[in-house]
Amino acid sequence: MAMPEALTVQRIVNVTAFLGASLEPRRADLVIADGVLSEIGEPTVPAEGAGVIDGSRLFAFPGMIDCHDHLRNLTPGLAISEGTTLDEFLRVMWSTGSQMGPTEYRIGALLGSLQRLKTGITTVTDHCYTFHAPGLDEASVEGYEASGVRWIYARGIMTRPYEPVCETWDAAATKIRELVGSGRVPTDRLFVAPVSIRQVVPDEFRKSRELADDLGVGTYTHVAETASEIETWKKETGASPIRALDALGFLTDRTVLVHCVILDDDEIELLAARGAHVIHCPTNHMKLAKGFTRVPDLLRAGVNVALGVDMMADMLIEMRTELGMHAAHRLDPNAVAKLDALLMATRNGARAIGLHDRTGLLEVGRAADVVLLDARSLQQAPLIDPAYALLYATDPSMVRHVLVDGRWVVRDGRSTVVDEDALLAEAEDVTLHYMERIGFPRGPWFSR
């Protein structure tokens, strides 16, 4: 399935690049050395060369950052639980997921990572669970590494209530320590990630914070997602989720909180004071009818808000949805600004996962994580405002090239790292046998 080593790019010439924290588009040459943007210069005429990309008809955008995903879509929970709410969907996921093993985890991680790369996402955070069989952690990491993506492992902890997919706290903590001690998961790629109050008891959030501090990593969880979850927090702790997490010591500037649909004003101020990061997944929220996270209010309060794809399609859609859902909900077309949406997909994501000085922007000294998209097409014409064209007139099929650390991992829309045809055949074969095991009927459109 592996391909020859991907080519390293030295220069992207005469490209319309979204530069710096303002993401201001301008024509430039991007020079890359040792995987880092070493120079941003005046545009020049394209020249022939093995490591040169002619950017004259392309946008150069920072590689987008998916701060929340679950890359085990071989289950496939959303597809076979269509029309359900979150709690119903989770029951489908647990009952079917118990039949997955290392092969499914590896292929799911590889397939999901490659799907993200091909849409312009260069960094993906996988909130990975459940751990009901040996080797699932290692299989997931193997999948990420085979894809060429920059990966972050939010190692989930689930101690209740669904047998046989939960584990004990001690087993989870021991495994996380083993992953770090063996070097399999470096600390700069790891979060200790109790799944939610639905899946762990309150004191395990405190234990997670202590474990994370001991290892020098961050914490990560789903929180404030549904009304029933809020009631569970109040019943078991006497407080709302954000206040309870703070009392348990869970909230710091290295804490990532996913969803945060139901917040009051004081909780927003508390998040800002603690420096915690919020991940919004707009398309997933609409799909599962969760409601509207107060993103405009969080941004105004100074909370760092980033985006997650969360088993949906791609980051281009998430940015567009972010703008549209709040405009419609608040009856204000400027509820979330265009620049805010672009930053939520890039710089803010890097901040959330601890890569704020390494990726997320096109700046000298940062990693050359770059997505190159069509910038001159009938769909985008007339090109008046590059940011508008990117947000409203560009789709994933227009992603031409993707670089991670200056390495050309997607070229002309195809992976340079993975044999896509071989992966498709293997993923279909694995999924077919998996679906047979869980008793889900095979449709005539599913072929190997």
CATH code of the domain containing 135: 3.20.20.140
User: What is the rounded CA–CA span in Å between residue 281 and residue 325?
Assistant: 11
- pLDDT > 70? residue 1: no
One domain, residues 394 and 249: no
CATH of the domain at 390: 2.30.40.10
pTM for the predicted model, two decimal places:
0.95
CB of 386 within 8 A of CB of 74?
A: no
Residue 365's Cβ-count burial label (10 Å; 0-12, 13-18, 19+) is: exposed
- Contact call for residues 407 and 148 (beta carbons, < 8 A): yes
- Count of domains forming the chain: 2
- The reply to whether 186 falls in a domain is yes
For residues 293 and 217, state if they share a domain: yes
Longest dimension (CA), the chain: 67
| Co-location of 50 and 83 in the same domain | no
Query: 443 lies in a domain?
Result: no
Q: Is the same domain home to 31 and 73?
A: no
Residue 406 counted as domain residue: yes
**How far is residue 3's CA from residue 77's CA, in Å, rounded to a whole number?**
31
- Boundary (domain end) residue, out of 352, 386, 403: 352
- Residue 314 counted as domain residue: yes
The answer on 23 and 165 residing in a single domain is: no
Examine residue 441 and state whether it is found in any structural domain, yes or no.
no
Per the structure, the complete domain to which residue 36 belongs is given by: 11-62+360-415
Would you say 305 and 278 are in contact if contact means Cβ atoms under 8 Å apart? yes
Is the residue at 131 inside a domain? Answer: yes
Last residue of a domain, one of 298, 329, 352: 352
Separation between Cα atoms, residue 304 and residue 285, nearest integer Å: 19
Q: Is residue 447 part of a domain?
A: no
Q: How far apart are the first and last CA of the chain?
A: 16
Q: What is the mean pLDDT of the chain?
A: 93
Q: Are 374 and 276 within one domain? A: no
Average pLDDT over residues 293-297: 98
What's phi and psi for 69, nearest 5 deg? -155, 165
Q: In this structure, are 213 and 261 located in the same domain?
A: yes
Q: Are residues 332 and 260 in the same domain?
A: yes
Q: Model confidence over 10-56: pLDDT tens digits?
A: 999 999 999 999 999 999 999 999 999 999 999 998 777 789 999 99
- Banded model confidence at residue 96, pLDDT cuts 50, 70, 90: confident
Tokens of 175: 């495994």
Q: Which amino acid, one-letter code, is at 222?
A: H
With respect to residue 32, please indicate whether it lies within any of the assigned structural domains.
Answer: yes
